[in-house]
Amino acid sequence: MDNVDLTAEVRRSLGNLEAVCRAAGMSLDRGLRMGVFTTRLEAFAEISAAYAEHFEGRPVPARTTIGVAALRRCRWAPWWRSTPSSRWPDWH
């Protein structure tokens, strides 16, 4: 995954968050804080530039960036969408 275009990943992630906020009648402009988990902390400048680009001319939420050894893939997403909200996903 080291060859991943981080700028594109940040843009896509923030675009997805914007879409979720819009669906709830909100906007990231009302966000106060965001958490960023990355396996590529050495590329912080690239991540930060894409973040700043996304919020250009708008209020920027505070951000915490955390370097991690690995990020777990979300295997339960299809199950989650088809299950009543009263059930929790299987994390194993």
Domain positions in the chain: 6-71
Core vs surface per residue 18-30: b (16+ CB within 10 A) or e: beeeeeeeeebee
Mean pLDDT in residue range 10-24: 92
pLDDT tens digits, one per residue of 44-77: 999 999 999 999 998 889 999 999 988 776 655 5
CA distance 6 to 87: 34
pLDDT at residue 79 in the model: 47
pLDDT at residue 78 in the model: 53
DSSP string, 24-73: TT--GGG--EEEEEES-GGGHHHHHHHHHHHTTTSPPPEEEEEE-S----
pLDDT at 85 exceeding the cut of 60: no
**Fold exhibited by the domain 6-71:** 60s Ribosomal Protein L30; Chain: A; (3.30.1330)
pLDDT at residue 45 in the model: 95
